[in-house]
C-alpha cells in the first residue's frame, strides 16, 4: 500500500451561521460547530483511505472566539498521520464577518477516524508522507497525541508513554 | 455565594436516532452526538449557575460502541466542579436497543462552560459541594483535568502542573 | 406474558427551545411540542413492549403556559395501562427558565400506541401493574378515556360507554 | 366586527414525506404530522382573524392509515366557529401515493387557537357565517366539542354541558 | 398513452417562513424558496406521469419582492407541456402577510422533470391537453422555452431554434 | 471605489449528502442543491462587496449527473462581473464518490445578487477586474447573460439586446 500526501486529503468547508445554530447571545453553539467539524474531518479521512470511516475520538477542543449569527465558518481539515487502521485529522476553524472584513480564529482540533471494510471491521489505510515543515511537525506530534489519547482512554499506562513523559520529566 | 450540590444540576436527555443523524452504516454520526451532548451539558451548567453559558472547551472523547438508527441515546450530565467563572460538566452516554433490551456504553466526556453576565463578561458561579463518593472522585479529578486542558491550550507549562506531573513521575 | 411496572417505562426527555421552534412571539409552537411528545411517548411504549410501535391516537391536549425561546422543555412519559395490543402513555410537560429559576406547567396528555410484529400486524403487549396511588388512578381512568376515544372515533355508541356515562348521569 | 365565511380561511398544505419524518417502518411519524397540521391550522386561523394566533388546544386525533415515505400529505384546514377570542379549525388529512394513484384518509382533527393583540392579550375575532350544509354541521357541532374540551380541561362540570349530556341521556 | 389535463396536475403548497429560512434582513432566502418550489413542481410532475421524477433543469427565476419572516409562501404548480419523457412545470409564487392582509408576487418559474422507470431510465409520459386560454398560451410557449434551454445547455445551435429566432429577427 | 479581483471572492463549499437530502432513488434533490448553491453564491457576493446581499435572480440550471447519498458535493463560487449594485456569481458544482475515487460534474450556474445598505436600498459595489483568460471570458459573457435575464424578466425588448441578437442573426 503506497503512502499519500497530506495535501491530497485537504477538505475546505464553508458554512453560514443561521438562527437555529445560535445560543441566546446570537453566537454559534459549540455543539453545532463540532458537528460540522466532524463531517469535514470525516471527508478528509475518506479522501485519504477511499473507504467509509467512523469517528473514533476527538481531542481536547478549546473555543477561543465566538462566531456570530450571519458570520461565516471556515473549516480546513487535513490528515497528519495514520496508524495502521486509524487516521488523525487536523482541523483549523475560523469565523469571518464578511461585512466588517474581520477574520478570527475559533479553534484548532484533532479528530481520529477508523476505516472500515464491508464487514464493518477496521481495515489498513495508506501511510502519510508529510511534505512541508508544518506537515512534518504535525506528523511528529501525532505520536505524542496518540499516547495521550490512549492514556486518557485507559488503554495505556503513563509509564509506557515515552514521548509524552519527556514533556514532564527532564533529566 | 453559596455552594450547590452536583445533583441539583443533573440533566437527563433522551434522543431517538433518526435517518438524518446516521452515516452510511446506519450508525449515529459522532458530530451529531457531540451536538446533543453540548446542549445537555449547557443545560446542566445553567442549572448550576442560573445564568447563560457558553461552551469553553471539550475534553478528549473516545467513542466506544456505535449507536444504531432507531436506537435511543441516553445522556446524563452533572457538574463536577467550578473554577471561579467556569464549570466542568461530566457526561455519560449510552445507546439502547429497546426491542432487544440491550443497553451499551457510548462514551464518557467532560465539557467546560463559562457563565456570562448581561455584558457578555464572565461572571462568578457557585462552588460545588460533592456528596457521594463518585461525586467526590470527579471533584478531585477536575483539578488534574483542568491542568491538562491548560497545558494543551498552551496556557500552562507542564512543569507547573503538579497534579498531572505526579502521574508521570514517581519517586 | 408477564405484567410490567409503569416505572419500567419511565422516559425523561429534555429539549432546548431554539429559534426555529418558535412563533412570532418567540414562544414554542404547539406542533413542535407535540412532535417531541410523540417521540417521548413512543420510547416509553417501546420500553414497555420491547417492539416497534406506531401512534394510534392522541387525546385532547390543552396548552396552559407558553414556553419561551431559550427555555427548557421537560417531558416525562410513563405507561398507564395496556389493552391487548395498544398502550396508553401519560405525559407531563413543563417549561423552565433556568436563569430565573422558574418552572411552569405546559400540559398533560395521553398518547396511544399500537405494537407491531415484523409483518406490521398488531401484537399483544404485557399488561400493566400499577404500584403507586397515582399510577392506580391513571390505570383506572384509562378505561374511561378509552371509551371516550372509541366514541369520538365513531367506534362505540355513547350508550355502551358505561364508565363515561356515569359522569353525566347520576341517579 | 363583521362575520366572515369559512371558505375565506381555507388553507391547503401539501408536504412530501422525507426520510427524517419516518419511523423504522418507513411511515410518517404521528408527531411530525401533528406539527404540519398545527401550522396549517394556525395559518387558517390567521386568515380568519388577521392577527397572530397561538395554539390553545388540540382535540382527539385518531390516525387511520400510515402515510409512507415518498408519499404526499394533503392537509385542508378551515374554520368552523369562533368563540369571542378563540377559533376552532377543522382539518382533513389524506396521504397519496402518486405512483399508484392511491389516495387514503389519515385523520380528521380540530385545533383551537386564540388571537392575540400586540400586548399578547386575547383579542376578539370575527364570527363565522357558515354557508354549506357541511359548514353548518361543523358550526353546530363546535359547541358540543367546546363543552367536551372544557370538561376535559377541568373548566366545566359535566352537569353544565347540556349539549354533550344529551348524547348520553335520552329521555 | 392518453393525454391528461393540466388541471389534473395542479399542486398547491403553503409554507410558513420560519427563522432558519431567513437572511440577516429577516427575509426568506432565495435558496430555501427554490427548495420548496422544487418539491411542489416534482409533486405536480408526478401527478401527471404517475412515476418517480428527477429535476432536469430550472429556467431563469427573478425574485421580485422579499417574503418576510412569519409571512406565508403560496406555491401553485401545474404542468404546461410534456416532451416524450420530460415535463415542464409552471410555478407561481406569492408571499402573504396574513395580519396586514397583503398578498404580493414573488416570482414565476419553470422547472423541467424527467420521469424514470424502475431501472432509472427515462420513460414516456402522457401528453398534455390544455383547456383554458392561459394553459394554451403556456403550452405554446413551452416549445420556445425548450429551445432556449437546449441552446443554453449547449445542445442546440441558435440557428436551429426557429421559434426563438423569430423573437430577434423580424423580416 | 476600487475594483477587486474575482479570486478575492472565491468561495469553496463542501457538503455531504445525507438521507433527508435525497429523493426515492437515493439521489440529491435538485432543490436541496440550489439551496446550498444560493448560500455559496451569497457568501461569494458578500466577499466582493462587504455588505449584506439578497438573491435577485438565478439563470437556467441544467442538472447533468445525479449525486448519490453519502457522496460529497463540491461547490465553487466566484464573481464574474458587477453592474452598479448587482453582482453575477458563477458556480461550478461536482459530486464525488470518495470510496470509488470518482468525481463527476453536476452543473454550472449563474446567480445574481444585489447589495443592500442599512436602509435595505441597493448600494453600489466595486467593479471586477478579471485576470485569467477564463475570468475574462466570463466577464465578457456576463453582458450577454444580463440581456437575456432582462428580456426573460420582461424588462428589455429583444431588439435592444445587441449582444444577444448577434447570436441569432449573422450577416
Give me the tens of pLDDT residue by residue for chain C, a chain 171 residues long.
Answer: 689 999 999 999 999 999 999 998 899 999 999 999 999 999 999 999 999 999 999 999 999 999 999 999 999 999 999 999 999 999 999 999 999 999 999 999 999 999 999 999 999 999 999 999 999 999 999 998 999 898 888 888 888 888 877 777 665
- Is residue E39 within 8 A of residue E66, CB to CB? The reply is no
Which of D128-155 are b and which e, b meaning 16 or more Cβ less than 10 Å from the residue's Cβ? Answer: bebeeeebeebbebbbbbbbbbbbbbee
CA dist., res. D27 & res. A10, Å (int): 39
Is the CB of A46 less than 8 angstroms away from the CB of F101? no
3-state secondary structure of C51: coil
Q: How far is C-alpha E50 from the geometric centre of its chain's CA atoms?
A: 18
Contact list, C164 vs chain D (CB under 8 Å):
168
Inter-axis angle of helices A30-49 and B30-49, nearest 10: 160
* Closest CA relative to residue B145, chosen from B108, B104, B106, B115: B108
- Is residue E129 within 8 A of residue E105, CB to CB? The reply is no
Q: pLDDT at residue D11 above 60?
A: yes
CA dist., res. B96 & res. D122, Å (int): 45
Question: Which grid cell sits at B146?
Answer: 483542568
Ranges of beta strands (E only) in chain E are 11-16, 53-58, 61-62, 72-83, 86-97, 102-115
Beta bridge partners of C16: C72
Contact list, C69 vs chain A (CB under 8 Å):
24
Query: What pLDDT does A170 receive?
Result: 61
DSSP string, D106-171: EEEEEEEEEEB-TTS-B-----B---SHHHHHHHHHHHHHHHHHHHHTTSS-GGG-HHHHHHH---
Q: pLDDT at residue B75 above 90?
A: yes
Residues of D with CB under 8 A from a CB of C: 23-25, 27, 29-32, 34-39, 42, 52, 54-63, 66, 111, 116, 120, 148-149, 152-153, 158-159, 161, 164-165, 167-169
What are the pLDDT digits (tens) for D137-170?
A: 999 999 989 998 988 888 888 888 888 777 776 6
Average pLDDT over residues B102-109: 96
pLDDT tier, A164 (very low <50, low <70, confident <90, very high otherwise): confident
Contact list, A23 vs chain C (CB under 8 Å):
70
pLDDT tier, A171 (very low <50, low <70, confident <90, very high otherwise): low
Q: Give chain E's residues under pLDDT 70.
A: 1, 169-171
Residues of C with CB under 8 A from a CB of D: 23-25, 27, 29-32, 34-39, 42, 52, 54-63, 66, 111, 116, 120, 148-149, 152-153, 158-159, 161, 164-165, 167-169
Which of B50-59 are b and which e, b meaning 16 or more Cβ less than 10 Å from the residue's Cβ? Answer: ebbbbbbbbb
Confidence (pTM): 0.95
Residue in A61, A146, A160 to test binding to B, most B beta-carbons within 10 Å: A61
Domain D6-132 = CATH 3.90.950.20: no
% residues pLDDT > 90 (chain B): 81
Query: What pLDDT does F156 receive?
Result: 86
Tell me the backbone φ, ψ of residue A139, rounded to 5 degrees: -60, -45
CA dist., res. B85 & res. C96, Å (int): 23
CA dist., res. D144 & res. B28, Å (int): 48
Q: pLDDT at residue A152 above 90?
A: no
Contact list, B47 vs chain C (CB under 8 Å):
98
Query: What pLDDT does C161 receive?
Result: 82
Distance from CA of A56 to the nearest CA of F (A): 19
Say if B and E touch: at least 3 Cβ pairs within 8 Å. no
CA dist., res. A70 & res. E23, Å (int): 8
- Is residue E45 within 8 A of residue E79, CB to CB? The reply is yes
Q: pLDDT at residue D171 above 60?
A: no
pLDDT tier, B155 (very low <50, low <70, confident <90, very high otherwise): confident
Q: Give chain F's residues under pLDDT 70.
A: 1, 169-171
Contact list, B19 vs chain F (CB under 8 Å):
19-20
CA dist., res. D19 & res. F26, Å (int): 10
What are the pLDDT digits (tens) for D40-55?
A: 999 999 999 999 999 9
Query: What pLDDT does F21 receive?
Result: 96
Q: Where are the domains of chain D?
A: 6-132
Between E159 and B59, name the one with better pLDDT. Answer: B59
DSSP string, A102-113: EEEEEEEEEEEE
Residues of D with CB under 8 A from a CB of B: 19-20, 22-24
Distance from CA of C134 to the nearest CA of D (A): 18
Between B18 and C1, name the one with better pLDDT. Answer: B18
Q: What is the mean pLDDT of chain B?
A: 94
CA dist., res. F156 & res. F150, Å (int): 5
CA dist., res. A27 & res. A19, Å (int): 9
Q: Scan for cell 380568519, then name that residue.
A: D48
Lowest mean pLDDT among A45-49, A109-113, B27-31, E161-165: E161-165
**DSSP 8-class letter at B50:** S
Average pLDDT over residues B25-48: 97
Q: pLDDT at residue B14 above 70?
A: yes
Nearest to F14 among A16, A43, A50 (CB): A43
Query: What pLDDT does C152 receive?
Result: 85
Say if B and F touch: at least 3 Cβ pairs within 8 Å. yes
Amino acid at each position: 500500500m503506497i503512502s499519500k500526501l497530506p495535501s491530497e486529503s485537504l477538505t475546505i468547508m464553508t458554512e453560514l451561521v443561521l438562527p437555529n445554530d445560535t445560543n441566546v447571545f446570537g453566537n454559534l453553539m459549540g455543539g453545532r460547530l463540532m458537528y460540522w467539524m466532524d463531517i469535514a474531518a470525516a471527508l478528509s479521512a475518506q479522501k485519504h483511505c477511499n473507504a467509509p470511516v467512523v469517528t473514533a475520538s476527538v481531542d481536547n477542543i478549546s473555543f477561543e472566539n465566538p462566531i456570530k449569527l450571519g458570520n461565516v465558518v471556515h473549516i480546513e481539515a487535513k490528515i497528519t498521520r495514520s496508524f495502521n487502521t486509524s487516521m488523525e485529522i487536523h482541523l483549523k476553524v475560523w469565523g469571518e464577518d464578511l461585512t466588517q472584513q474581520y477574520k478570527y480564529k475559533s479553534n484548532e482540533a484533532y479528530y481520529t477516524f477508523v476505516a472500515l471494510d464491508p464487514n464493518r471491521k477496521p481495515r489498513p489505510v495508506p501511510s502519510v508522507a508529510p511534505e512541508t515543515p508544518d506537515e512534518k511537525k504535525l506528523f511528529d506530534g501525532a505520536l505524542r497525541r496518540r499516547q495521550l489519547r490512549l492514556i486518557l482512554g485507559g488503554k495505556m499506562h503513563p509509564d509506557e508513554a515515552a514521548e509524552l513523559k519527556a514533556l514532564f520529566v527532564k533529566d
